[in-house]
Amino acid sequence: MFDMLGKMGQMKKAMEEVKGRLDHITVIGEAGEGQIKVTMTGNMKVKAVEIHDRLMDPTRKEELEELTELAINRAIEQSRNIMETEMRAVGQGMFPGFPGLT
């Protein structure tokens, strides 16, 4: 029982370390052949949004909105994949052979 509690404490510490590393990992979601770029950390915090001048035309508002949504979702997907990989590695290291962590 105490061994499990100790492992849980170690896992919490390891997860905090992962969160710190994820703050320094950057992913970029693009849409419209690079006309929209969203830069995000591994913790899914948006750091920058770049929009090509061509899309700033009011007649292209709908296209701009759709491409921005797509770029954000692509960045989130990349960030989530990195986060899941990092967290899975922590879980496997702390609890080898534990179901659901492989």
66-98 confidence digits (pLDDT tens)? 999 999 999 999 999 999 998 888 877 666 665
Name the residue among 70, 39, 37, 71 with its Cα closest to residue 51: 37
- Reply yes or no on domain 24-86 having CATH 3.30.1310.10: yes
Are 51 and 35 spatial neighbours (Cβ–Cβ below 8 Å)? yes
* Average pLDDT of the segment spanning 12-28: 92
Rg of the chain, C-alpha, whole Å: 19
- The tens digit of pLDDT for each residue in 2-15 reads 676 777 788 788 88
- Residue 30 and residue 52: Cα distance in Å, rounded? 11
What does the pLDDT read at residue 95? 62
Query: How do the domains of the chain map onto residue ranges?
Result: 24-86
Q: What is the pTM of this model?
A: 0.78
Which residues lie below 8 Å from residue 89, measured CB to CB, with a gap of 6+?
Answer: none
What phi, psi does 2 have (nearest 5°)? -70, -30
